Amino acid sequence: MRLLFLGDVVGRSGRNVVVDQLPALRERWKLDCVVINGENAAGGFGITEAICDDLLSAGADAVTLGNHSFDQREALVFIERQTRLIRPANYPPGTPGRGATVVEARNGARVLVVNAMGRLYIDPLDDPFSAVERELAACPLGEVCDAVLIDMHAEATSEKLAMAHFVDGRATLVVGTHTHVPTADHRILPGGTAYLSDAGMCGDYDSILGMAKEEPIRRFLQKTPGARMEPANGPGALAGIAVEVCDKTGHALDVAPIRLGPHLSEARPHFWE
């Protein structure tokens, strides 16, 4: 089974590159399951229903979120009916939407997708480790589902690594999001879980995290309010991770980073090319 995850889609540049390229990639690589983080898809802040639909139509089986989940207020409403859009599982009880979903991959496999948010240097939610534990217990790999993808939306590398080792063997992939910078530490952990500290973003890399450079730089130099933050609108690049999954165990057989587009050194999954 072939699993693809793409990092935080930022603004129009990010949406365009996904919509333009994902259908062909899905075909070319015969992808069985695609998950995309969409927390910055709407102008850099949150996601709308129309944009979520675009990502799903482009080939995503599920869309994950993060600290920007509800920046667009309509997400509080449509997330209730859109079961393929999930927000961190460790939001307080009663938060609209859900923290995990099971999608059926093209090969018929059942894939549990979990979203969790770290607590270091980011809004304090409830314990992401026990939230993930709960989701795994409700739908264990190899019993109720055939693959488990965990999007660990977090700032601190320590927390992402800890999550990965915590679930090693019980998940197919733990991939970090939120920093918008792709890391180069993809590997398969001893228990069989693929890991990447951060998927990077889908968007214009001639930017500060996908946003036009001038205003964020200015805010570091001066400490006065300025212009609104706007997404950079140059051509976008795709970034994420590819996992070849064992159909029998749900563990990772092979893992490779994906980096396609301007400003990034190209990376492709040789095992699918």
| Candidate list 84, 110, 165, 268; residue touching its own copies; CB under 8 A | 165
Residues 127, 64: Cα–Cα separation, whole Å: 18
| Candidate list 74, 110, 142, 157; residue touching its own copies; CB under 8 A | 157
Binding of its own copies by 265 (CB under 8 A)? yes
Contacts of Fe ion in 26-65 (CB under 5 A): 39-40
Residue of 235, 259, 66, 85 whose CA lies nearest to 181 = 259
Residues 121, 111: Cα–Cα separation, whole Å: 30
CB 193 within 8 A of CB 172: yes
Contacts of Fe ion in 177-196 (CB under 5 A): 178
Residue closer to Fe ion by CB (options 1, 237) is 237
Q: What is the DSSP letter of 50?
A: H
CB 198 within 8 A of CB 66: no
Which partner from the list Fe ion, its own copies, none does 73 bind, CB cut-off 5 to 8 Å by kind?
its own copies
Residues 158, 67: Cα–Cα separation, whole Å: 18
Residue type (1 letter), 216: P
Size of the site for its own copies (CB under 8 A): 60
| Contact window for its own copies (CB under 8 A) among 6-14, 24-32, 101-109, 159-167 | 159-167
CB 106 within 8 A of CB 33: yes
Q: Within a 10 A sphere around the Cβ of 231, how many other Cβ atoms?
A: 25
Active site residue 68: yes
Residues 221, 206: Cα–Cα separation, whole Å: 19
Q: Would you list which residues are annotated within the binding site?
A: 8, 39-40, 67, 153, 178, 180
For its own copies, the binding residues (CB under 8 A) are: 70-71, 73, 76, 91-96, 119-121, 123-127, 129-130, 155-159, 161-163, 165-166, 179-187, 197-198, 200, 205, 208-209, 213, 216-217, 220-225, 257, 259, 263-265, 267
Known binding-site positions for Fe cation: 8, 39-40, 67, 153, 178, 180
Provide the binding-site residues for Fe ion, judged by CB under 5 A: 8, 39-40, 66-67, 178
